[in-house]
A and B are shown apart, each in its own frame.
Chain A
Amino acid sequence: MKNKILYVMIVVATLLGCILSASEIIIFLLAYEIILLPVLWLLTEALKKHVKAELRIPTAHIEKNQEFVVEVLLQNTSVFPMPVIWVRLSCENEFTGEKIYLEERVMTDAKGEASLLLSLKSKYCGKMRITLEEIRVQDYLRLFSKKTPVQEISKEIIVLPKIHKISLNAITWVQDKQEGEDFSHARSGEDTAEVFDVHEYREGDTFQRVHWKLTAKAEEYLVKEYSLPIEQTILVFLDFYAEKEQVTQAQFDCFLEILASLSWSMAEQSLNHMILWYQEAEGQLSQIKIEEEQDVYYMLEQVCDSRRNQKYADVLSMYEHQSGMQKADTYFLLNVQGVLYKDGVCEKKFSQKDLEEELIEWKLEI
């Protein structure tokens, strides 16, 4: 715009000169300035068709506050050099919603290729979407600029929270719970270890299923229904509910850091666990089973793709209803304010400021 204004001023000054003196040279200069404009415009039109762009991000995951490089590769296929190509990118943290725009000027020689390398880092966790918004080519006097058609190229990168090792004391749980003695109260199954229910004999029931003791008492044939066993994992519920003003980006980060540290520490100690959360947008309970460390990263990816819930949802009840358990045995509930509940009781309230220290020093008994 600045150059356009300057050019207009020059043309106006030349026009004034023509009016005042009407000399041959000044009229020629005015004619030149007028004739130059369409030539530059045509040049820009021609140049815009000869630019190709590609967006590259070498990694899929990155830790918070760690640098990563975004590369925009530009190809000039014309015989003219392009001294000014404007590249515009947007960078959005989908978890926090923050979006910024980047603009940079690049040069390429005729039939050349150049890369714009941007080293970025994110202060907060979440899924970052890098989009190549626009490529603009300018003429040699930088009066006109034309947009090169770019199909919106987007790439994602997950910014993971820092993971701290938490001291877990889970011996009792392991001894008691590893055999998997829990059965469903809502549905029958085929596990003969436990009888779910009895019913009157119906055609098709096998004689092996007859409950002889009760049959003797009831004077009619009663058939056993066996139970459905429930897996023995630690449940970690996530509560995404928060009023907009009550939670900040930093708090979300803390929430993720606690979750990641807790989950990773449990996976490290081979404590299988399940992460469950309710997504308002999708209207369903999401769950991911964590058996090894790789699962933690996968889980964090999915969690980072989530959004804050605007209405409160009792995740625990939803799970109990869905799974048929009367009551979850050992479970944790972590909310976005950074409060961890164990079996319904507040286990710990983490502070943002000293989170790392608190996590490292924390001894959790399971």
Chain B
Amino acid sequence: METGNLKEKGAIQVVRRRLVQRKQSELNEKAVFAVRAAVLFLAMASLAGMMVSAFSVSCNSFVLYILLGVYSILLTWYYEKDKTNPAFRYVLPGAICGNILLIFITKDSFLGSFYCFMNDIIGSLNKAYNGSLELFPESQITGTYFICIVFIWIGIFLAKGMIEKQENFHFIFVAFPVLILSVLGGGKPSKSSMAVLLLVFLSITSFAGVTMRKKFWWVENKEEFNKNRRVSRRIQFRLALCTAVVGTVLMAASFYGLRPVLTLPMEKVAQAVSPVKVSGLQMLYEILPKISGGKLSFSMEGVGGGVSQGKLGEVSGFSYDNTEALQLTCSRKPQETVYLKGFIGTEYTGSQWKEREDGEFENVVKNWEMEENPLIYIQNLPFLRMLYAQKMLGEDDGSRLNNPIEMTVKRLDANVDYTYVPYQTFLSDRYVMKNGDGAVAGQIAGEDIYSWFPIKEYQSIITRWKAQDASQSRLNDLEEVYKSYVGVADTQVDESGLESLTELCKGKREEWDSKITEELTEEQLEVLEQEKYADVKKFIINTLWSNCTFTTEVWKLPKGQDFVDYFFHEKKRGDSTAFASTAVLMYRMCGIPARYVVGYAAPSSLFIGNGDGTYTAVLQNDNAHAWVEIYVPEMGWTPVETTPGFVGTVVDMEVSEDDLKEQEKVKEEQKKEDAEKKAHEHSQGKAGIFGKVLMILLVFGIVLLVITVRYRYLWKKRRGMLPGILKEEQIKEVFYSFYQVLQFTGFPEEIDTTTQEFVEEVERLYPQIEKKDLQRYMALVLQVHYGQKTVTRKDTEFSTAMYERLVKQAAAGLEKRKKLLFYYWKVF
């Protein structure tokens, strides 16, 4: 004979199962109560703490936690009480009504507090995602009141699950979204709240093993039921203690023991799978603005791999090749790479470049007597000098070559903190300078129009003018003052941590210091200065290129290390930020004023004719770049390219044949690397496809889940098996399904189900169903609907059996398509 499952219809039946506690240890019930209240309190406190810390919500924590403690005690007391006492049935509804009434009475305070709370969260989201979500009206009230009110509801929900039902679903239902929101919202939840949340989660999950089972614990026998309840509470008490002790010990072991061991391999794995991560983030970058209606987006500025605003060695950005940052439209095609300055760093801290301090340069220029804004004036000096020189040379004859290029710069997705400005341009007074003679601050206008001179043309005119006429002018007076200033301010280097680099540059500096003496004439000085600049540039480039290689791979600076020193002596490979940072310091060590610049470099080849004589280039993320600018007397700030592979696209000073050969060599190597990069991008593209496939699978999974849940629900409904349904309702539900099956198979609707005609018709259509059974079934249905029949389990089983028989017969007669509909859509 076959073995059978207990629940199937078999000869051996289980009538009931009961759990009886024969012996249990004694325990202080107050201690048990205290522990359960404590667990509830910790659950609420950790959730509140996580929200508050993640979004920096302004809140009076002391008041909040006190109130949460009070809630915990009251709710634990309430849910532990025996609800058979009629008075208790009204306590919770009363409290809820009281809460609603309180909100209504104090609605202004509640709203104010709500606004404050939401503004903190929205602010955090906007900051993380460069968003523009609208804020609520500003409020003077902190978020404390709102959080306290909300946690009454949350507390009731949690206590219902944890204390009354003794399961963990309620906690997970609340904690999971809070956790996800805190992490994805760009917040940094505090470690303590996360740790407590983890311990609470473990406790509650272990509690779920003693979920209340009323029937099994013999709810009919009050004494036995209470014994089981007491035992379950004691088990929970002991589990809570175990979890607290063991959980804390394991936390310490994990944090101090295993975590450091895992960190290094995790970093390596993170590097290895970064293309997949980038693809995922790329997908998110595309989706986020769409789903938020354009109000949220990622900020994607990267510099050769993802560093912005002067920070060095932080893997917080990433390269997203498809971002369009700026669109340039020029009146004529530039014959050289166009450099657009963004961030300008003047002070090196070891891990980042900082802009000049507020007010520092303003102090310098405050004594300048001029009508114009002196900060703008300094910016405009090269442009004005060019105009002046052209006039002096008599070459302002309208020759196209010497007219400035008109360029429109349209901001697409570039960092909004800066205005991206070409060299040798003229800025009107509407522009605001950040930190004196540094970068131009970002502004609302999405488009800027510049007149600027290409560097080659500028240098050519200025050189000719100087040769012809070196007389003093007002421009030169101001320029002298500025030159002195930058000669001090922008040659400063904190040599701690850079001793070896300093030693390397010391020789070159001394060499030129010995040559350039005060005995020399002005002309001699000028010639030597030019030689010095060329020689130092050659020295820096040769030193850098022979020692380090270019890579787009971004690496994280280890804690306590100096970026330049680490790059130059240990890593020996880096992107433009590494080369530029090192070069700036080396220039300074050699006595030449230098600054670190981050912006965009647009090669000439990128400009495409529009047909109307203008040329347009769209700059993407991979055009973001870092370079050095050095102060050349009477030339002003001049960009110098020190990153391998970029030389030749930049106009620099005289480059010797040897240097050119070396540049060619570097170009060859760069070509090889580009080819490898393309292959890598191809795999990134694949990773992008992978991301899309993942998305599709996810959607498919969700759809499948919905279909499955619907199917199960309907299947149970048809058979009257939904939980909590009474036997009479079950019969009615099954008969309804029975009738629906008949209708589906074309049963005439006009036949009344209460008549004999109905039975005869069913019998005629489905002769395999015995008349006797059908009559018995219909009698049962009628009695349930219209009579006083007490339905037994046998009746419900019989009813379901009749339904199953009909389904089988009905399905047998259907064609294939209809059968699919019958089983899977109608779920008969």
What is the CB-to-nearest-CB distance from A228 to chain B, in angstroms, rounded to a whole number?
A: 45
What is the CB-to-nearest-CB distance from B268 to chain A, in angstroms, rounded to a whole number?
A: 10
- Give the residues in chain A near B219, CB-CB below 8 Å: none
The CA-CA distance from A116 to B246 in the complex, in Å, is: 31
- Does A150 interact with chain B (Cβ within 8 Å)? no
Q: Is the CB of B206 within 8 A of A19?
A: no
Q: Is the CB of B270 within 8 A of A81?
A: no
In residues 39-74 of chain A, which contact B (Cβ within 8 Å)?
39, 67, 73
In residues 61-91 of chain A, which contact B (Cβ within 8 Å)?
67, 73, 80-81, 83-84, 91
- Give the residues in chain A near B198, CB-CB below 8 Å: 29, 32
- Does A249 interact with chain B (Cβ within 8 Å)? yes
0 or 1 for each of A97-128: is its CB under 8 Å from B? (1 = yes):
11111101011111111111111111110001
Q: A27-B259, A28-B255 are in contact. Are A115 and B25 (CB under 8 A)?
A: no
A124 to B, closest residue via Cβ: B11
Q: Is the CB of A101 within 8 A of B5?
A: yes
What is the CB-to-nearest-CB distance from B217 to chain A, in angstroms, rounded to a whole number?
A: 10
B194 to A, closest residue via Cβ: A25
Q: Is the CB of B209 within 8 A of A83?
A: yes
- Give the residues in chain A near B209, CB-CB below 8 Å: 83-84, 107, 138, 140, 142
Which among A19, A35, A112 is the interface contact of B277 at CB below 8 angstroms? A19
The CA-CA distance from A177 to B404 in the complex, in Å, is: 144
Q: A22-B270, A32-B250, A120-B14 are in contact. Are A114 and B25 (CB under 8 A)?
A: no
Q: Is the CB of B259 within 8 A of A31?
A: yes
- Does B232 interact with chain A (Cβ within 8 Å)? yes
Q: Is the CB of B239 within 8 A of A97?
A: no
Q: Is the CB of B270 within 8 A of A140?
A: no
Q: Is the CB of B250 within 8 A of A140?
A: no
The CA-CA distance from A294 to B42 in the complex, in Å, is: 67
Q: Is the CB of B4 within 8 A of A98?
A: yes
0 or 1 for each of B6-30: is its CB under 8 Å from A? (1 = yes):
1000111111111111111100000
Q: Is the CB of B12 within 8 A of A93?
A: yes
- Give the residues in chain B near A123, CB-CB below 8 Å: 10-13
B276 to A, closest residue via Cβ: A19
Q: Is the CB of A100 within 8 A of B19?
A: no
- Does B498 interact with chain A (Cβ within 8 Å)? no
What is the CB-to-nearest-CB distance from A91 to chain B, in angstroms, rounded to a whole number?
A: 5
Q: Is the CB of A101 within 8 A of B3?
A: yes
Q: Is the CB of B206 within 8 A of A83?
A: yes
Q: Is the CB of B17 within 8 A of A97?
A: no
What is the CB-to-nearest-CB distance from A178 to chain B, in angstroms, rounded to a whole number?
A: 43
What is the CB-to-nearest-CB distance from A32 to chain B, in angstroms, rounded to a whole number?
A: 4
- Does A18 interact with chain B (Cβ within 8 Å)? yes
What is the CB-to-nearest-CB distance from B171 to chain A, in angstroms, rounded to a whole number?
A: 14
- Does A141 interact with chain B (Cβ within 8 Å)? yes
Q: Is the interface of A mostly helix, strand, loop or mixed?
A: mixed
Q: Is the CB of B24 within 8 A of A98?
A: no
In residues 1-32 of chain A, which contact B (Cβ within 8 Å)?
18-20, 22, 24-25, 27-32
Q: Is the CB of B205 within 8 A of A83?
A: no
Tally the A-B contacts, defined by beta carbons under 8 Å: 176
- Does A34 interact with chain B (Cβ within 8 Å)? yes
The CA-CA distance from A80 to B209 in the complex, in Å, is: 14
B263 to A, closest residue via Cβ: A27
What is the CB-to-nearest-CB distance from B414 to chain A, in angstroms, rounded to a whole number?
A: 25
- Give the residues in chain B near A39, CB-CB below 8 Å: 246, 250
Q: A24-B259, A31-B262 are in contact. Are A113 and B210 (CB under 8 A)?
A: no
- Does B234 interact with chain A (Cβ within 8 Å)? yes
Q: Is the CB of A122 within 8 A of B11?
A: yes
Which among A100, A117, A140 is the interface contact of B10 at CB below 8 angstroms? A100
What is the CB-to-nearest-CB distance from B218 to chain A, in angstroms, rounded to a whole number?
A: 9
Which among B10, B242, B257, B277 is the interface contact of A98 at CB below 8 angstroms? B10
What is the CB-to-nearest-CB distance from A93 to chain B, in angstroms, rounded to a whole number?
A: 6
Q: How many residues of B contact A (CB 8 A)?
A: 59
Q: A32-B250, A84-B209, A142-B209 are in contact. Are A100 and B5 (CB under 8 A)?
A: yes
Q: Is the CB of B12 within 8 A of A91?
A: yes
What is the CB-to-nearest-CB distance from B627 to chain A, in angstroms, rounded to a whole number?
A: 30
- Does B273 interact with chain A (Cβ within 8 Å)? yes
- Does B269 interact with chain A (Cβ within 8 Å)? yes
0 or 1 for each of A180-215: is its CB under 8 Å from B? (1 = yes):
000000000000000000000000000000000000
0 or 1 for each of B257-286: is its CB under 8 Å from A? (1 = yes):
111011100110110010001001000000
- Give the residues in chain B near A120, CB-CB below 8 Å: 12-15
- Give the residues in chain A near B18, CB-CB below 8 Å: 116-117, 119
The CA-CA distance from A214 to B246 in the complex, in Å, is: 106
Residue among A18, A20, A27 with max Cβ neighbours from chain B (10 Å): A27
B261 to A, closest residue via Cβ: A31
Q: A20-B277, A36-B250 are in contact. Are A113 and B21 (CB under 8 A)?
A: yes
0 or 1 for each of A159-194: is its CB under 8 Å from B? (1 = yes):
000000000000000000000000000000000000
- Give the residues in chain A near B20, CB-CB below 8 Å: 114-115, 117
Q: Is the CB of A115 within 8 A of B235?
A: no
A249 to B, closest residue via Cβ: B11
- Does B714 interact with chain A (Cβ within 8 Å)? no
Q: A31-B258, A106-B19 are in contact. Are A122 and B12 (CB under 8 A)?
A: yes
Q: Is the CB of B14 within 8 A of A81?
A: no
The CA-CA distance from A170 to B349 in the complex, in Å, is: 120
- Give the residues in chain B near A32, CB-CB below 8 Å: 198, 250-251, 254
- Give the residues in chain A near B207, CB-CB below 8 Å: 83
Q: A19-B277, A99-B3, A100-B12 are in contact. Are A115 and B19 (CB under 8 A)?
A: yes
- Give the residues in chain B near A80, CB-CB below 8 Å: 238, 242
Q: Is the CB of B22 within 8 A of A81?
A: no
0 or 1 for each of B206-236: is its CB under 8 Å from A? (1 = yes):
1101100000000000000000000110110
- Does A96 interact with chain B (Cβ within 8 Å)? yes
The CA-CA distance from A116 to B315 in the complex, in Å, is: 59
Q: Is the CB of B1 within 8 A of A96?
A: yes
The CA-CA distance from A118 to B262 in the complex, in Å, is: 50
What is the CB-to-nearest-CB distance from A142 to chain B, in angstroms, rounded to a whole number?
A: 6
Q: Is the CB of A116 within 8 A of B17?
A: yes
The CA-CA distance from A122 to B14 in the complex, in Å, is: 9
- Give the residues in chain B near A31, CB-CB below 8 Å: 254-255, 257-259, 261-262
- Give the residues in chain A near B191, CB-CB below 8 Å: 25
Q: Is the CB of B24 within 8 A of A112?
A: yes
Which among B2, B13, B23 is the interface contact of A121 at CB below 8 angstroms? B13
Residue among A30, A81, A249 with max Cβ neighbours from chain B (10 Å): A81
- Does B557 interact with chain A (Cβ within 8 Å)? no
- Give the residues in chain A near B258, CB-CB below 8 Å: 31, 34-35
- Give the residues in chain B near A119, CB-CB below 8 Å: 14-18
B253 to A, closest residue via Cβ: A35
- Give the residues in chain A near B17, CB-CB below 8 Å: 104, 116-119
In residues 295-323 of chain A, which contact B (Cβ within 8 Å)?
none
Q: A28-B254, A30-B262 are in contact. Are A98 and B12 (CB under 8 A)?
A: yes
What is the CB-to-nearest-CB distance from B115 to chain A, in angstroms, rounded to a whole number?
A: 30
What is the CB-to-nearest-CB distance from B635 to chain A, in angstroms, rounded to a whole number?
A: 45
- Give the residues in chain A near B2, CB-CB below 8 Å: 98
The CA-CA distance from A99 to B1 in the complex, in Å, is: 8
Q: A32-B198, A83-B235, A98-B10 are in contact. Are A107 and B210 (CB under 8 A)?
A: yes
Q: Is the CB of B232 within 8 A of A107?
A: yes
The CA-CA distance from A118 to B277 in the complex, in Å, is: 55
A79 to B, closest residue via Cβ: B238
What is the CB-to-nearest-CB distance from B463 to chain A, in angstroms, rounded to a whole number?
A: 52
Q: Is the CB of B3 within 8 A of A98?
A: yes
- Does B774 interact with chain A (Cβ within 8 Å)? no
0 or 1 for each of A121-150: is its CB under 8 Å from B? (1 = yes):
111100010000000001011100000000
Q: Is the CB of A102 within 8 A of B262?
A: no
- Does B154 interact with chain A (Cβ within 8 Å)? no
- Give the residues in chain B near A111, CB-CB below 8 Å: 23, 25
- Does B202 interact with chain A (Cβ within 8 Å)? yes
6 CB contacts below 8 A, A to B, read A22-B270, A109-B25, A115-B22, A119-B18, A121-B13, A122-B11
Given contacts A83-B210, A115-B21, 9 further A-B contacts (CB under 8 A): A32-B254, A84-B209, A104-B17, A106-B19, A107-B235, A112-B24, A113-B21, A114-B22, A121-B15
